Structure 1
Amino acid sequence: MAMNLLFDILGEEGNRVRRPRVHYDRSSPLADLNDDQLRARYRFGRAGIEFIIGIVRDRLEYPTKRSNALSVEMQVLIALRFYATGTFQQVVGDTIMADKSTVSRVIRKVSEVLSSLIPQFIKWPVNRQDKLKIQQGFYQHGGFPGVVGSIDGTHIRIQAPTKDEPNFVNRKGYHSINVQAVCDHEENIGQSII
């Protein structure tokens, strides 16, 4: 059996046999899916996905189309699909006809770009005037005096980690990370704690 595998790899004359490159049609699902279908698959509607693509385009776009590079749109959709489903990278790759290693690289790259943009979107009031504005907003909205933030938490489902696996099982019996966020009266996230 091992010899058969070796012949499959090396060929009859002992030269390595190269598998032919396969280029898949990776047309965007954005054109084919309505907003409800996009939300079910990616947790964002068309406008949200297009906004994310717009803010990361400069950092994810390849300078050439050499080697059939993935478009920024496909990179964002791969990452969003992984975030939304919490499934295996292999499964995400199978759905878009990409290798697991490609999916892994894309998720890492998109995640790094998005996390580098945190200071633009997550802010905490630093001066007294900002805090007073938020307090007034909470008071006008719900009659709550002196409130500077609304806090909540949720469990984000994850794959079972190989290290310290029992520490990531929540009270409902699945693996997750507990995330807590604070927002102001306009639902702007102030500070998130993992």
Structure 2
Amino acid sequence: MHSEAILNIVDILTDDLEPKTLRLHSVPASLQVLTALRYYAIGSFQQVVGDLVGLSQPTISRIVSRTSRALAGKAGNFIKFPLSPREQLAIKQGFSSEFNMPNTVGCVDGTLIAIKRPTEREDAYVCRKMFCALNVQGVCDNKKRLTNLVVKWPGCTHNAYNVHME
């Protein structure tokens, strides 16, 4: 990610993440965002990320959880399917001129996101690749911006269930 994008995320999430304490050892919002982004990017163990930034695994766990909730809470401000005819026309023209794909408003793809083994309904989350996952669908426009994201189906769910946009 570019540094401007990271700083923008820090600005957006600071009110949600900034410690509401005067304790000397609280973790500033900027470090929380950087830590969570590092964890998302490398997909490693929290202990490894903690070693990189000098924080304990339990602290990394709280940071990732808090930052993930904050990001999810703001997602609707940024991930929006183009509903107006004007927006749709602009995207169709972009797909047509850039990729020779006429009448296209979005490209759809899905992925399996590995998750920790749940304590309830574990079998529902075991995907065809035999690990616990969420079946996630994303739609992007011609500028590769997410316009729709569905993150609610367990890993065993067939991709056909994800076609309903929310």
Output the TM-score relative to the length of structure 1.
Answer: 0.65
Which runs of 5 or more residues in structure 2 are unaligned? 152-166
Shift of 1:83: 2.6
1:20-99 aligned at under 5 Å gives the runs 44-62=1-19, 65-99=22-56
Identity within the alignment, %: 38
Shift of 1:184: 1.2
The structure with more strand, counted as a fraction of residues: 2
CA pair 92-164 structure 1, distance change in 2 beyond 3 A: farther
Which of the numbers 56, 71, 79 marks the counterpart of 1:114? 71
- Aligned residue pairs: how many? 151
CA pair 81-142 structure 1, distance change in 2 beyond 3 A: closer
1:44-193 aligned at under 5 Å gives the runs 44-62=1-19, 65-193=22-150
CA deviation map 1:82-129 (0-9, x unaligned): 333444545544554434443333222212211121122101112212
Whole-angstrom distance in 1 between the partners of 2:119 and 2:54: 27
Whole-angstrom distance in 1 between the partners of 2:122 and 2:48: 22
CA deviation map 1:58-91 (0-9, x unaligned): 3322355414110112211332233334445455
Output the TM-score relative to the length of structure 2.
Answer: 0.75
Whole-angstrom distance in 2 between the partners of 1:93 and 1:164: 31
Determine helix, strand or coil for the equivalent of 1:66.
Answer: coil
Please, what is the CA RMSD of the aligned residues? 2.4
- Larger-Rg structure: 1
Whole-angstrom distance in 2 between the partners of 1:120 and 1:150: 20
